[in-house]
Amino acid sequence: MKRGTVRLEVGHRIDTYLPDANNENDYLVDREAQKTVNFMGIWGVNEQDRSLQESLRATSARDRGIVDRSREHLVAADLAIVAARRRLLRMIKTMQQGEPLKEVSRADLYAIRAVSRICDIADFDEFIEAYRRDALASQA
């Protein structure tokens, strides 16, 4: 990391620390590591994730924050992403129908910690319901 300045779209400038691995230096891709260690050749999950996020293309100039995911190929490791997207889509439908979101009115839903379990429950909501007590108990 090195000190640097980021200019936001609205014109403001922020002094911050910038990562050494970035788009300009191809995220310090190590071609040998790419052949022998990991597919990306980029050290660290954070840098790998950032490289993908920063290279995504928007659907249009007007919708710069919306990414076209129609050709995306998710795998089993992306199950949390699939579950989160499905949940967000259900929330959107609920709002479109004029119904209140339980997530907004129930602050206790945000007081849950991560739960790590290996089980045969495929549905995210069913998993949360099954292990809700464990998640709430871990707050102590």
User: Are residues 41 and 90 located together in one domain of the fold?
Assistant: no
Neighbours of 90 (CB within 10 A): 12
The mean-pLDDT minimum among 14-18, 30-34, 44-48, 57-61 falls in 57-61
Please check whether residues 115 and 64 belong to one and the same domain: no
Q: Where in the sequence is the domain holding 85, given as residue range(s)?
A: 74-105
The reply to whether 1 and 54 lie within a common domain is yes
- 13 and 54 inside one domain: yes
Say if residue 68 is in the same domain as residue 35: yes
Tokens linked to 53: 């996020």
pLDDT tens-place string over residues 65-81? 677 777 888 888 888 88
Count of other CB atoms within 10 angstroms of residue 22: 15
Whether residue 35 is found in the same domain as residue 100: no
- pLDDT (tens digit per residue) in 124-138: 888 888 887 776 655
Do 11 and 53 belong together in one domain? yes
